[in-house]
Structure 1
Amino acid sequence: MTVPRLLAAAAVTASLVLVPVSAGAAVDFRPGSAGAGDPYFPKMGNGGYDVRHYGLRLAYEPATGHLTGTATITATAVQHLSRFNLDLHGLTVQSVRVNGKAAQWRRSGAQELTVTPAKGLRLGKRFTVTVRYSGRPQKISDKPLGSSGWIATADGAVALNQPFGAASWFPVNDTPKDKATYTFAITVPRKLTALANGDFVSRKVKGDKSVHRWRMRQPMSSELSMVAIGDYETLRTKAGGLQSVVAFDSGLASSRKQLRSYDKKTRTVLKWQSKLFGPYPFTSTGGIVDELDVGYSLETQARPVHDWNTPGKNPPDDLIVHELAHQWFGDSVTPARWKDIWLNEGFATYAEWMWRERSGGATAEQIFRNAYAAGPEADVWKGVLSDPGRDHIFDSLVYQRGAMTVHALRKELGDDVFFRLVRGWLAANKGGTVSTAQFHAFAEKFSGRQLDALFDKWVHKAGKPKL
């Protein structure tokens, strides 16, 4: 995420051992937890199951703001389940079926949808949940963290989910720890375009409607899923086996040349980043540019979204570089808990620094020195990088001190070891979830260096570190 532009210019999930129950043995079915255990967002996510796939069929009417949805969720029970929860905020549920049979369900709290299947679900068994729902989805606002979720626009809507917006438009296990693949089938008025994560599959016209299908083939956290509906100028290209889809709100795109320029910039940045970070982790890329009034860009998986309001101009390089770096740091390799978000934002901000140096601007060392020159009372030194607090996950502490920490590690190890370490870390954890402790341990094992002092002063203590 690139948060307010003043900053922009600025445990791998444990393997599950599934033990079958012998025939005739008594089974102790219990409810899955209503929460995934993240101290920052204790009511987000749920326990007892692991989602493998979301199949989302959506129909949206911009004139009324009404959404009709059917979510088919494929999951595996990780305990003997008597019932389980999904996260769904505000929308009306028409029916819930588990393995094709009607299930009991109830709503509670801000977003709990509790589902009780006709019979218990055994540990290790795959099951499907089909939820039919509808209503007028709303964005979710939080004073320190801004707005996310379903954001209505003048001609459609854009769904941005970080950190807590996914439940505003589909039933979900809304925790970064539970990654899944996705398919989207989105029905909108014929004149509009509907976009989502991943690979474009098809567009079919049915009377005055059009159905747009997309597929995200690689595992994705719910916070990174995305839908964009509107009057867009689009450009779809394919080069080197990588599909790119660029879409600008029609009021922001002055010509096809502008779209081609954005596409070219994206491919140039990805080629450069692939040399630094290793192979690009997805099969598609691109970007969506729209006027959203949320004040940030977001690294939605394989196709970032930029809130932008300058017709005829593309978002600046810093924003593009930052969100594309997130495709490795945050999207492919994702912190399991929100307190470790510096592993996303520190590396993405540092990618900006390296791009400026590559483009003939200040060097990464000069940018580091300028950032470090902030006085001891500056916001960047307030808090602990590895645990900034729920309301501070998008503060300068996370972005700027995070980038300074990356640079300090680079200086400690030297370029050869540092960049090999980065590529090794990303390759070893591709598609998974991680923690600060795991990164520390990996860096020490890979480099053969003892790094406790560096991590202690830069990552685990508040205040301005001494150089």
Structure 2
Amino acid sequence: MHRRIIAPGALAAASVLLAIPASAASYSPGAPGIGDPYYPAYGNGGYDVSHYDLRLKYQPATDELEGTATILARTTQDLSRFDLDFLLDVSEVRVNGAAASFASSGEHELAITPKRPLPKGTAVTVVVRYRGVPSAKQAYGFTSWHRTPDGGIGANEPEAAWWWFPSNDHPLDKATYDVSVLVPDGVQALSNGVLRSTRSRLGWTRWNWRQDKPQTTYLATLAVGRFDITRSTSEGGIPVINAYSRDLGENDGAARASVERTGEIVDWLSTYFGPYPFATAGGYVPDTTTGYALETQTRVYYSPRQFSNGSNTSVVVHELAHQWWGDSVSVKGWKDIWINEGFARYAQWLWSEHEGEGTAQQLADYVYASHPAGDPFWTVLPGDPGPDHQFDIAVYDRGALAIQALRNEIGDKAFFALLKDWTRRYRYGNASVADFRRLAEKVSGKPLAALFDTWLFQPVRPGAPAAHAASVAVRAAGAPVPPRSWKKIAATNGVHGHSG
């Protein structure tokens, strides 16, 4: 569990009061965390970001990154000081054009004091100039920056932004992005959204990317290296941009055979979840040694190890399902992670049905039978797993079991209507497990509190009566037989392992 060391409150408060004119004594610092109990120091209080403009230069040979971040925000309180989440070395900060004082604080905070206090409701433009070597930085004992033989990658969950841009790093503060990256000729720079342009001059090429739909900070990605980039359009009209490191070796064919089906899978998922929420789709496979994949918005990050045993469209389904469940509709707090991972896993079960390799019910039966009473699997609560178990396998598999139980309880017509209603109602916003339960009750006309409590919030295996009522069969004695799709589904079990 990550912990933040906080300076004594009385001393900090006294310092702030001395820095503020008497006429502005009502102004106070923004909180150094947004208020998420899982990660108290993540995100910040006092303002809301609407847009990030990131103008970067990266040298792959030395992993040196320099940049200017222009952040557009609005204050949510009378603000004397505010924090950004950031690790690299800052040379200058300006707030609404005026030079501001700044200092590093704690493990990953950049504390900024504007020249003049900012009234509540003020539009704020923050400019941060910085540079550094991302791979040389750690916080809480880990890094989310992946050094590769030909460059570097920013991708991790629940934090990745600190290593390459200053931000308000929590899903509650979503924003649009312009990311412009200057790299040596012959090197590619990838990010989220639409590639607006590239231009070359004096041995350097600038890549300009735009994400015009709200995006949370951990879903922003930067990838620099030597990539083979492919472009296509899905049958449903969604442009697809994929990229593959030129050094994938024996994993290259399997990676392409999987990720090149992105357009087909996006169209297929749209039949369950409603229209694809973004202007483009795709993924990239860099030359990294991590074992996980990540649903970075519109441009999914895949580790080559995902394809070490051959092609695996199931992991592509999982990450693309997140474009609806987690990306377009994001969690209100990290305790709501079931909304992301349970439904991404369940999408794999639906794909298994589509491929004729086992129905969702057969997969539910198998998962239930594979974990007898007393298995620690049942002690993890998908509806509020705690920070130490946020990405536990139970959040995925028990989470998907809960979804199958809900499907059986309310029937297919209401269930599939609910999925589309959810992604439409909360599109580009944030929502919680409680919000989902309320909508499920509204759509189905049934009270569902007991079902949600049984499958998401009780630290025990649901008993035979509860299982029977949810149509999750208790298998006869003996080892359960996995459906044909299970091996590929299980290969995604570590998709969010920490890189540190």
Superposition TM-score, scaled by structure 1 size: 0.90
Matched, 1:446 2:443: yes
Matched, 1:155 2:150: yes
**Alpha-carbon spacing, 1:106–1:427, altered in 2? closer, same or farther (3 Å):** same
Any idea what the Cα deviations from partners look like across 1:293-351, whole Å, max 9, x if unmatched?
22100000011110014889975111100000000000001111111101100000000
Point out the structure with the larger strand share.
1
Point out the structure with the larger helix share.
2
Any idea what the Cα deviations from partners look like across 1:357-393, whole Å, max 9, x if unmatched?
1101011111000000111233421222221111111
**Alpha-carbon spacing, 1:192–1:311, altered in 2? closer, same or farther (3 Å):** farther
Mapping of residues 104-143 of structure 1, within 5 Å: 104-138=101-135, 140=138
**Alpha-carbon spacing, 1:310–1:401, altered in 2? closer, same or farther (3 Å):** closer
Please point out which of 217, 220, 225 is paired with 1:225. 220
Q: Distance between the aligned counterparts of 1:448 and 1:243, measured in 2? A: 39
Matched, 1:328 2:331: no
Q: Distance between the aligned counterparts of 2:290 and 2:139, measured in 1? A: 10
**Alpha-carbon spacing, 1:76–1:414, altered in 2? closer, same or farther (3 Å):** same
Mapping of residues 354-393 of structure 1, within 5 Å: 354-373=350-369, 374-393=371-390
CA drift at 1:97: 0.2
Q: Distance between the aligned counterparts of 2:255 and 2:392, measured in 1? A: 32
| Letter in structure 2 aligned against 1:381 | W
Partner of 2:497: none
CA contact (8 A) 1:235 1:260 kept: no
| Letter in structure 1 aligned against 2:51 | H
CA drift at 1:241: 4.2
CA drift at 1:442: 1.2
Partner of 1:212: 207
Aligned length: 439
Q: Distance between the aligned counterparts of 2:225 and 2:461, measured in 1? A: 46
Q: Distance between the aligned counterparts of 2:92 and 2:248, measured in 1? A: 41
Partner of 2:248: 252
Partner of 1:464: 461
Q: Distance between the aligned counterparts of 2:84 and 2:51, measured in 1? A: 14
CA drift at 1:435: 0.9
Any idea what the Cα deviations from partners look like across 1:124-173, whole Å, max 9, x if unmatched?
12110000011111365778xxx652211010111103112211211110
Q: Distance between the aligned counterparts of 1:302 and 1:260, measured in 2? A: 17
Partner of 1:12: none
Partner of 2:416: 419
Q: CA RMSD in A?
A: 2.2
Partner of 1:66: 64
Mapping of residues 305-316 of structure 1, within 5 Å: 305-309=301-305, 315-316=311-312
Q: Distance between the aligned counterparts of 1:203 and 1:51, measured in 2? A: 27
Question: What SS does the corresponding residue of 1:297 show, helix, strand or coil?
Answer: coil
| Letter in structure 2 aligned against 1:246 | N
| Letter in structure 1 aligned against 2:163 | S
Partner of 2:401: 404
| Letter in structure 2 aligned against 1:242 | I
Please point out which of 184, 188, 191 is paired with 1:189. 184
| Letter in structure 2 aligned against 1:207 | L
Q: Distance between the aligned counterparts of 1:174 and 1:223, measured in 2? A: 7
Partner of 1:340: 336
Q: Distance between the aligned counterparts of 1:310 and 1:365, measured in 2? A: 26
> 4+ residue runs of structure 1 moved beyond 6 angstroms?
253-260, 310-314
Percentage of identical aligned residues: 44
Any idea what the Cα deviations from partners look like across 1:161-209, whole Å, max 9, x if unmatched?
3112211211110011000000100011111000000001111111111
| Letter in structure 1 aligned against 2:150 | D
Q: Distance between the aligned counterparts of 1:26 and 1:99, measured in 2? A: 18
Mapping of residues 280-295 of structure 1, within 5 Å: 280-295=276-291
CA drift at 1:231: 0.6
Q: Which runs of 5+ in 2 are unaligned?
A: 1-22, 468-500
| Letter in structure 2 aligned against 1:331 | D
Q: Distance between the aligned counterparts of 1:324 and 1:155, measured in 2? A: 27
Mapping of residues 16-35 of structure 1, within 5 Å: 28-35=26-33
Q: Distance between the aligned counterparts of 2:160 and 2:254, measured in 1? A: 31
Partner of 1:268: 264
| Letter in structure 2 aligned against 1:430 | R
| Letter in structure 1 aligned against 2:78 | H
Please point out which of 23, 38, 46 is paired with 2:44. 46
Q: Distance between the aligned counterparts of 2:231 and 2:196, measured in 1? A: 12
Q: Which runs of 5+ in 1 are unaligned?
A: 1-24
Partner of 1:297: 293
Partner of 2:194: 199
CA contact (8 A) 1:252 1:313 kept: no
Larger radius of gyration: 2
Q: Distance between the aligned counterparts of 1:116 and 1:230, measured in 2? A: 37
Q: RCO greater where, 1 or 2, for CA within 8 Å and sep 6 or more?
A: 1
**Alpha-carbon spacing, 1:148–1:280, altered in 2? closer, same or farther (3 Å):** farther
Q: Distance between the aligned counterparts of 1:315 and 1:345, measured in 2? A: 22
| Letter in structure 1 aligned against 2:393 | S
Question: What SS does the corresponding residue of 2:325 show, helix, strand or coil?
Answer: coil
**Alpha-carbon spacing, 1:272–1:154, altered in 2? closer, same or farther (3 Å):** same
Superposition TM-score, scaled by structure 2 size: 0.84
Q: Distance between the aligned counterparts of 2:375 and 2:382, measured in 1? A: 14
